[in-house]
Copies of this chain bind each other. A is one copy, B any other.
Amino acid sequence: MKPQDNVLKLEQQLCFAVYSAAHAFNRAYKPLLDSLGLTYPQYIVMMVLWERNGQTVKEIGAKLDLDSGTLSPLLKRLEKLGMITRTRDENDERQVVISLTEQGKATRRQALDKIAPAIGHLVGCGVDDMNEMRDRVIKLKTALDGAVNHD
């Protein structure tokens, strides 16, 4: 076997490891999120709004790297769930401002109670390891983004 053949082996690939870990995270979060009635993508949209209420679709999309094709239907589902409201901006009617309802705000406390305590247990390592790993993964993502945009 030629040496470069290893490159096409699954277990060699960082890409597959990340792909696979993302799915594993999703599976691990699912039972926790079910108790809030949210999917993971809906949950991270809620996190963006819990940090600052009243943001446009574009602002949310920039923070999550998601476009309107993903967010528009997702936000309609969150509206249907009673978590948010969608209103056109008075000054610029192109923009839609997303705001939390009282129920949407209350769900934050449920998340603090049910999800936050479970995370450390899920990932099976201490806070320091987790933070270091997070920073590395973010660096990786940044490198990938750069490679896409600049060549």
Identify the A interface with B (CB < 8 A). 4-5, 7-10, 12-29, 31, 40, 44, 47-48, 50-51, 63-65, 108, 111-112, 115-116, 119, 121-125, 130-131, 133-134, 136-141, 143-148
Q: How far, in whole Å, are A108 and B122 apart by their CA atoms in the complex?
A: 37
Other than the given A14-B123, A23-B65, 16 more pairs (CB < 8 A) read: A4-B116, A7-B112, A9-B51, A10-B51, A14-B133, A17-B141, A18-B18, A19-B25, A20-B65, A24-B141, A27-B145, A28-B147, A123-B140, A123-B143, A125-B140, A136-B136
**Quick one: which of A22, A23, A47, A139 has the most chain B CB within 10 A?**
A22
CB-CB under 8 A from A28, the residues of chain B are: 144, 147-148
Q: How far is the CA of A51 from the CA of B6 in the complex (A)?
A: 10
CB pair A144–B27 under 8 Å, yes or no, is yes
| A40-B19, A51-B10 as given contacts; A144 in contact with B24, CB under 8 Å | yes
In the complex, the answer to whether A122 meets B144 with C-beta atoms within 8 Å is yes
Among A31, A133, A140, max chain B CB count under 10 A is at A140
